[in-house]
Each structure stands twice: as structure tokens, then as C-alpha cells.
Amino acid sequence: MPPTGEGSEMKMSEESQRQAAALNHLLGEIGLTTPEQTRWWNFVTYPELGDRTPTQAWLAGDIENVTALVKSWYNASEEGARRAAADPEFLAMLRRRLSELEERNERGGPVHRSA
């Protein structure tokens, strides 16, 4: 988000940009690519944000709820990774699925993503 004015508004905008960059970092840690992050910010609505996109909520000043949504998703991702690491059968299944996806991608087949 570009700076919007002078003085305190400029500082707020800089702080807002810093916070958004930190959230983008977390989204990247979760596994979203830059284009996926753009889609997340601009095209996906969430009940937690009043059925708005994160950008709409952010611009309306609802930064706390956008931040809470990303942090919740990040924490769930971290917990899932810990559980998966403790379950050798689950890890083996994930490795098989990844291998299947890579083979399909090399053959030019579609890759489907799900949450």
C-alpha cells in the first residue's frame, strides 16, 4: 500500500506496509507463491473478515482481524507439520503423493490444489 499523505498518515502507511510485508512472509512460509498471495489478498473473502477480502478489510482498518487470520492459518500449518513429522506413515503417503504430482507435471497433466 503506498503512502497516503504527510506526517502521521505517512508513518501509519509505512507501518501498515511493514505489517503487510510481515504477513506476506508468513503466507510464504505457509507455502503460498507470490501469485497465490496476490489472489489471497484480493479475491478470497472470509467470514472472519465480514465476508470481505483481506485487502478490503485491511483498507477499512481491520488490520487486527487480517493479522489474526494469517497467524491462525500459520499456527495450524506449523501444528500440521509437527504432527506429520511424528507420523512416518503419513510422511510416506505425502512423499508418494508429491512424487505422483511431480510425474504428472512432467507429463503435462493438470495439477489440482486443495486446502
pLDDT in tens, 19-40: 999 999 999 999 899 999 999 9
Alpha-helix residue ranges (DSSP H) falling in 4-115: 7-30, 34-43, 54-59, 63-85, 88-106
Query: Is it the case that residue 51 has pLDDT exceeding 90?
Result: yes
CA dihedral 88, 79, 36, 50 (to 10 degrees): 150
Which position has the grid cell 499456527?
Answer: 75
Q: Which three cell numbers stand for residue 4?
A: 497516503
pLDDT at 114: 45
Count of alpha carbons within 13 angstroms of residue 82, beta-carbon side: 6
Give me the mean pLDDT over the 41-49 stretch. Answer: 94
**Per-residue CA distances from 104 to 3, 32, 112 (Å):** 45, 21, 11
pLDDT at 10: 56
pTM confidence score: 0.67
Give me the mean pLDDT over the 90-115 stretch. Answer: 73
What distance in Å separates the CA atoms of residue 51 and residue 17, rounded to the nearest whole number?
A: 23
pLDDT at 34: 94
Question: What share of the chain in percent tops pLDDT 90?
Answer: 53
Model confidence at 52, in pLDDT bands (50, 70, 90)? very high
3-class SS of residue 31: coil
